[in-house]
Chain A
Amino acid sequence: MRRPTILLAVAALVAGSLTACSAAAAELTVLGPWTGGEEQAFRAMFHGFETEENVHIDYTGTPAVNEVLQADVQKGQPPDVAVLSSPGELARYAASGDLRKITGSVDVSDGEYSQQWRTLLKLGTNDLYAVPVKADLKSIVWFDPKVSSKMDSWQQLLDFTAKSAAGGPRTWCLGMEAYSTSGWPGTDWIEDILLHQSGPSVYQDWATGQLAWNSDPVRAAWQTWGQLLDAQDKPGDQQAMRNAALLTYFGDAGGKMFDQHPGCLLEHQGSFTTGTYPTTAERGRDYDFFPFPTIASQVPQSYEVSVNLAGLFTDNPLARKLMAYLAGARAQGVWPARPGGTAFSVNREVLNAGVYRDPVSTRIAGVLAQADHLCLDASDVMPAEMSDAFSRAILEYLGDPGRLDAILTGLDDVRSGLSAKGRLSVPCG
């Protein structure tokens, strides 16, 4: 009688131990670009998943996310999920087979995501590969409604710029300094001008490396920007404004709109830039935006967007569930709902749920979720070598606009040295 009792006790102990082991939280690894406050916001996004699935998500945030991911993939130890701000980079992982398809595992129904986004999330393939974590709207111009007003044509912008140059503050708040990526705020100008002057089709060909930098549409975009900058230069100060732009940190530029005597009147910058405005400035009352106007009449109103995309790098079924969770309206609404946040979701249900607290944010989210023509930021689509050269070219152009021919030839030299393999072929949706 005693022996069976002991055996039972031992069996119960072993079973208990096994149960305890199996009840311990599983772990997923996630790599992303966010640290500090943004990391907290991202963690809040997947906190519900951790609770529901009894899983611990080991998140590593680093600004050098591309380099870390590349090293991890080369070592054969990728994170389960990685979030990149460069869709072009993600497309290269899809082409190399390191990125897993999520078709069938993740629901991006028409009710939640527009056709444009469903196209972009396929990274130029027939399969779904990515989930948007947050997005920013570019192709917009910020202004102070108390000082200036919305403009809906390029000519209006040119006239306003020239008029301001005659006396008063600078028209454009320009800052090109951005540490290692100095020059990128200028790349947004060229991209937007090309998109609104020559249309999405030409933009797509150029962004994917099929159209030369020396081609007429691209050259025209640079020259159009040059004309606008010339228009704002005061007589005798042709280079001064450009020098000021070269020496100004992009995050310091827009704040000058809110000085008692404004230092500038308009800022061409993405939706994230309001995070650099004074905390006393109120959305709608002190600043608002208007869409970047079309320059050629036959071109449809299009928007450039940047987006952080999550991709799946392992076959872990739980990681696949996390991707589905991140795509859902519940997770998508967390970051935009945070107080003082400047994050936007492209999920329609988030927009319809009234998450955004003011009309300006709601309009931005509306464009992101429902616009007819969306194009990814071309710099995020290009290979890193090309986008770096593009940023440097902006600095060269501001330093000496007369060197445009040499600059475009230099960019074409870089382009011709790059492989077309694995490049994102569909940056517009």
Chain B
Amino acid sequence: MTERVSTTRRTLLRLRLALLALTVVVLAMSAWSFAATQDVLSTVRDRTAPAVLDIASARAALMQAHAAAVSSFVNGGAGLVGPGEQYATSLSVAEQDLARAAEDNSAGAAASNELQLLAGLLTTYSGWMSQADSHYRDKPVDSLYLSDLWYAARALDGGDQTLAHLEVLAQDQQQELDQELTADWLDPSLALAWLVPALVLLALLVYTQVYLRRRFRRRYSPWMIGATVVLLALMGATATELMLADRAHSANAALTAYVDGTDQQSDAVSAGAQHQLILLIRQVCAPSGKPDGCGDTMPATPPAVPLTTAAPPATSAASATAQFASATDLGWLLVLIPVLALAVAGLVLAGLQPRIDEYRNRS
């Protein structure tokens, strides 16, 4: 008889220990997982995604600046205003975008080096444009302002020059964003780290319920049912990280669509400017159609200008940014998760302690 009583109490004590220990594990893993996910998504929202947008915006602004400057020289307005106000404003926007990208950069030292290099390349570009302005006002030396304009264009689209490095930088930032959204706690398989202990705890709660029913002939333990319900709520709260990750993936897709659309528009603007510039230079270096004075680098025919204007991006930058913000708007769950875990522990104790006390004297 004594042996049987002792076994029941020992079992109850072991169940209590196991349930509390598992609750601690579930709390730790759930909180860790949710906090880490929130942390990554916050980094994506505050740094990585803005950096991707900054670089696309810098590219677009630079193309606008160049097109405006070329247009000013082609139309003759440069005699009064040089490359023009639009050029100065857009170039300033491009420089500010790159400065922000440098602040937001989370793609490491290689991207920092690229940004440093780009700052130098932009200085080269604007230097040639200033020189073109200066030579343009010195009318007798026509060829020099044209070669300056050509050098400025080459500083943009020449091999290993500004656009090539912007491309590298954009790829670095996009890869970083993709990596952040798929690695570590945003890898769906890592949800097992908190889900498995939670399921084990759930199973143990059910087992405890059954054990109490058999041993003490009570149909239900309301405390254990409460603990089970709260645990399910805790699991639900933690599982919202999967939903938030999904929102971030959707936001990334929207961001990619926006950047692609912006780049296509920039390419169209760039092709138009290059077309105008080459026609302008060829009027001087090959006035009678003879190519002798145009050298070996400039194409014989200017690039074709797209007949239709590139469609604006399907989504806006604000929309993409807002989607990333919505992926982090459930941060308050990080407070709720520990509260729910404490509630599970409290309900377990409340449910088991009276039964353990019943056996205290008999043991």
Give me the interface of A with B, judged by CB distance under 8 Å. 60, 62-64, 67-68, 175, 177, 179-180, 182, 237, 239-249, 252-253, 255-256, 263, 392, 395-396, 399-400
Contacts and interface: CB of A to CB of B under 8 A. Distances in A.
B295 A244 contact: yes
A175 B120 CA distance: 23
Nearest to A63: B117
Contacts of B357: none
A148 to B, nearest CB: 19
B154 A244 contact: no
Contact of A241 (B150, B154, B155, B292): B292
Contacts of A60: 109, 113
A399 B146 CA distance: 10
Contacts of B151: 177, 179, 182
Contacts of B143: 239, 242-243, 246, 399
Nearest to B117: A64
25 contacts: A63-B160, A64-B116, A67-B116, A67-B120, A175-B297, A177-B150, A177-B151, A179-B158, A180-B120, A237-B292, A237-B293, A240-B285, A240-B290, A243-B294, A247-B146, A247-B150, A247-B285, A247-B293, A247-B294, A247-B297, A248-B295, A249-B154, A263-B296, A395-B144, A399-B135
Most buried by B among A62, A242, A243, A256: A243
A256 B295 CA distance: 11
B151 to A, nearest CB: 5
Contacts of B141: 399-400
A18 B254 CA distance: 51
Nearest to A36: B160
Tier of interface size on chain B = 20 to 34
Contacts of B296: 175, 244, 248-249, 252-253, 255-256, 263
Given A180-B124, A247-B294, 9 more contacts: A60-B109, A240-B290, A243-B284, A246-B147, A247-B293, A247-B295, A249-B297, A252-B295, A399-B141
Contacts of A68: 113, 116
Q: Which 10 pairs across A and B sit closest by C-beta, in order of nearness?
A: A248-B295, A240-B293, A247-B295, A399-B144, A180-B124, A246-B147, A244-B295, A243-B293, A249-B297, A252-B296
A179 B244 CA distance: 47
B82 to A, nearest CB: 18
Contact of B155 (A175, A180, A243): A180
Interface in B138-160: 140-141, 143-144, 146-147, 150-151, 154-155, 158, 160
A127 to B, nearest CB: 32
B200 interface: no
B281 interface: yes
A310 B297 CA distance: 34
A38 to B, nearest CB: 12
A392 B117 CA distance: 22
B124 A244 contact: no
Contacts, number: 101
Interface of B: 109, 113, 116-117, 120-121, 124, 127, 131, 135, 140-141, 143-144, 146-147, 150-151, 154-155, 158, 160-161, 281, 284-285, 290, 292-298
A243 B296 CA distance: 11
Nearest to A396: B144
A263 B294 CA distance: 13
Contact of B113 (A62, A252, A253): A62
A399 B281 CA distance: 14
Given A252-B296, A399-B144, A247 B281 contact: yes
Contact of B117 (A62, A239, A395): A62
A73 to B, nearest CB: 15
A253 B147 CA distance: 16
Residue of A68, A179, A396, A400 most packed against chain B (CB within 10 A): A179
A243 B284 CA distance: 9
Contacts of A247: 146-147, 150, 281, 285, 293-295, 297-298
B297 A240 contact: no
Contacts of A241: 292-293
Contact of A64 (B120, B131, B158, B161): B120
Contacts of A400: 140-141, 144
Nearest to A264: B296
A64 B146 CA distance: 27
A179 B164 CA distance: 14
A48 to B, nearest CB: 26
Contacts of B124: 179-180
B128 to A, nearest CB: 8
Contact of B295 (A63, A175, A392, A395): A175
B158 A252 contact: no
Given A395-B147, A399-B141, A177 B154 contact: yes
A253 B295 CA distance: 8
A237 to B, nearest CB: 7
Contacts of A253: 296
Nearest to B127: A180
A221 to B, nearest CB: 22
Contacts of B121: 180
B58 to A, nearest CB: 18
Contacts of A237: 292-293
B292 A248 contact: no
B297 A252 contact: yes
A129 B275 CA distance: 51
A179 B155 contact: yes
A241 B298 CA distance: 14
